Structure 1
Amino acid sequence: MDVLAAIEAFVRTVDTGSMAAAGRRLGVTSTQIGNRLTALESRVHAKLLVRSTRRLDLTPFGRDYLARCREILDRLAEADLMAEARQAEPRGHLRLTAPVIFGSEILLPGLAAYLEGHPHVNVDVDLTDTIVDIDAGGFDAAIRLGKPTTGDFVARPLKPYGLMICAAPSYIDRKGAPTTPSELSGHDCLLYGSSGKVEDREIWQLLGPEGPVAVEVKGRLRAFGAQGLRRAANAGIGIALLPDVIAEADVAAGLLRPLMATYRPADRPLNILFRRERHMSRLFRSLLDHILQAHGRPAAPTPLVKENGTAR
């Protein structure tokens, strides 16, 4: 039996909550993970996990043994770091997940300089507006919109995500242009869709001369994804709340006009999340430093947080 592989299978199964997720993270099948756990339990002559169809629970001995196993893996990681530090260049493969608009319009173009300066690093970027499990998906980090609130991760803040209220000239000619939040109730607004949402209304958070304002808007069209809303706004279907990075180009081209200049949509927080042990890796640190330099904002590191949030 490969004792180290069995120990890692045990720790990763506990971290991810399932043998299937642990297998994806380690690049093996769930059957292989199960076999390693069985062999490890035989080696220590004790049950480590109580397995059911829905969950895995640590036995009292398993909790104590887990702490020792983590120490072993931490020491091994430190030893690997010593060896890695001798290398002149970071080498390896990194995986990130990021919201579609931020990833396609800001993150990916900015990676050109990083890849040129690190010829031995490959980067996979999964662009999705769906919140994915970082561990189960095998990601080194995730860029998230909104304030993270669940799962133990380190969060480093990036530049806030700006939004713009805008509409096509054809819509404004037909329906007029609102100048205050209360006037939005008389307009067709384009709504941002997500799984399970069926309402014909949503809340827009604005900042005006009197401070924050929450306004309920209604609309007949809901679309999942800012690019879809952008196209609908260009077609004159309604008023949209769009990311600055795509709205500004259409404003410059005359396809959209910004509305309600005195009521700016509140910027949305943007963070990059990763497990603390990843921060120790020279490989990951090289990419993290690049992202923070290119897209970060001056701020102290956020303490351990719980992963959650929505993407727009």
Structure 2
Amino acid sequence: MKLRQLEAMRALIATGTTTQAAEVMGISQSAISRLISQLEDTLGFVLFDRHRGRLSITPEGREFFGIAEDILTQVDQIQETASNIRAHGTGTLRVVAMPAIGTCMLPQPLKMLREEYKNLNIIVDLKNRSDLQQAVAERKYDIGLATLPIVQQGLTVEPLCTVRSVLIMPRGHRLSVKDVINAEDLDGENLVSLSADTVMRYRTEELFSKLKIKCPSAIEAQSTILLGNLVKIGLGVAVVHPFVADHFREQLEIRPFEPEIDISYGLIYAQGARRLRVADQLSKNMRICFSGTSQFIPHDQDQSPAG
């Protein structure tokens, strides 16, 4: 029994004549008849009654096709998956990002990707810096999004964009009357910050230490959404990525912050791994989304592979 024989049976049931079935399958009428005869010989019973040039399925044929149809459906799904892999490079894209930037930077580019590749499965995870780097190096993910620099061996880094940090504060905060917030303005303010393993946290603390600015430690939050909500209810102010601030634009006061703290983002890949087409498309989508609001870094300025 061959798959082609089952396909001929399906075409014949759908059309009712060998002529039309042959057109559907792109073969000759005699080839259709031969495939059906071979299948009947293999099974040992008649599948179709012939009457005045038309064929009707027998009760035995109907019972047999109930099983054969399930097999053909599975074969169609296999062929569709293979087609997706040929077109997209894979049926699944695995993405990992640091929590703060992933939460606020990935949704729109992923929406654009999904609109172009409607059958693509997308897996998105959030991890801290060290876990993210290790997971990408071990090829558990196809693409990662993190703040730069990245120094771990086994990774290739592609700079994405650079932005300047901003300050977020509750509505009606005493500093909301200012157009620009200076670091000195925060002396004595309660500070809500991201976790200690982030570039933003390190550079903010480095700046405050240099300027001898003392901010009582309010709360440390690993979740971007939690951080914004804590600021919103008045538990402190926060120096954040502008993408994080945009997420809360309707709920918080947002001001430029000086001295400027520039933060760069990059896409990371396992060194030597085959680059997926859909991963490259996601990279393009992010550049489209962010180039209008951030300092764009051209693709030819890629950072050399780490290590």
Identify if the C-alpha distance between structure 1 residues 92 and 189 changes in structure 2 by more than 3 Å, giving closer, same or farther.
same
- 1-structure distance, mates of 2:232, 2:253: 10
- Between the aligned partners of 1:138 and 1:203, the Cα distance in structure 2 is 33
* Partner Cα separation in structure 1 for residue 277 and residue 170 of structure 2: 48
User: What pairs up with 1:232-271 in 2 under 5 angstroms?
Assistant: 232-248=230-246, 250-251=248-249, 253=250, 255-259=251-255, 261=256, 263=258, 265-271=260-266
Equivalent residue, structure 2, for 1:304: 305
Residue 294 of structure 1 deviates from its aligned partner by: 4.5
Q: 1:101 to 1:280 in 2, by over 3 A?
A: closer
Following superposition, the deviation at residue 270 of structure 1 comes to 0.4
TM-score normalised by structure 1 residue count: 0.55
Alignment of 1:64-75 (within 5 A): none
Q: Deviations over 1:115-144 (max 9, x none)?
A: 222234322110234531224471122111
Alignment partners' CA distance in 2, 1:215 and 1:298 = 37
Paired AA for residue 277 in structure 1 = G
Counterpart for residue 150 of structure 1: 152
Deviation at 1:269, TM superposition (A): 0.9
Question: Matched residues in 2 for 1:163 and 1:292: separation?
Answer: 19
State the SS of the aligned residue for 1:143. Answer: strand
Match of 2:8 in 1: none
Write the mapping of 1:85-100 to structure 2, written as runs, cut at 5 A: 87-100=86-99
Which range moves more in the overlay, 289-298 or 269-278?
289-298
Map 1:1-312 to 2 at 5 A.
87-132=86-131, 133=134, 134-136=136-138, 138-172=140-174, 180-194=182-196, 203=205, 205=207, 216-225=213-222, 226-248=224-246, 250-251=248-249, 253=250, 255-259=251-255, 261=256, 263=258, 265-282=260-277, 284-295=279-290, 297-300=297-300, 301-306=302-307
TM-score when normalising by structure 2: 0.55
- Do the aligned residues in 2 keep the contact of 1:170 with 1:236 (CA within 8 Å)? no
Instruction: Give the deviation of 1:169 after TM superposition.
Output: 3.6
List alignment gaps of at least 5 residues for structure 2.
Answer: 1-81, 291-295
Give the drift of 1:298: 1.4
Aligned partners of 1:93, 1:179: CA distance in 2, in Å? 44
Q: Is the 8 A contact 2:93 2:121 kept in 1?
A: yes
Change in 2 beyond 3 A, CA 1:215/1:108: farther
In the TM superposition, residue 162 of structure 1 has moved relative to its aligned partner by 4.1
Offset of 1:241 from its aligned partner? 1.2
Structure 1 distance, partners of 2:230, 2:95, is 30
Aligned counterpart, 2:36: none
Distance in 1, matches of 2:244 and 2:164, equals: 10
Task: Report which of the two structures shows the higher radius of gyration computed on alpha carbons.
Answer: 2
Change over 3 Å in CA distance of 1:190–1:104 after alignment to 2: closer
What fraction of aligned residue pairs are identical, expressed as a percent? Answer: 14
CA RMSD of aligned residues (A): 3.8
- How far off its partner does 1:204 sit? 5.7
Distance 2:149 2:98 in 1: 14
- Mapped partners of 2:194, 2:275: distance in 1: 38
* Structure (1/2) with the larger helix percentage: 2
- 1:215, CA displacement in angstroms? 5.9
Amino acid at match of 1:244: P
Write out per-residue CA displacement over residues 255-310 of structure 1, whole angstroms, 9 at most, x where no aligned residue. Answer: 43235x4625412110011124334444544444444554573142221114xxxx
How far did 1:234 drift? Answer: 1.0
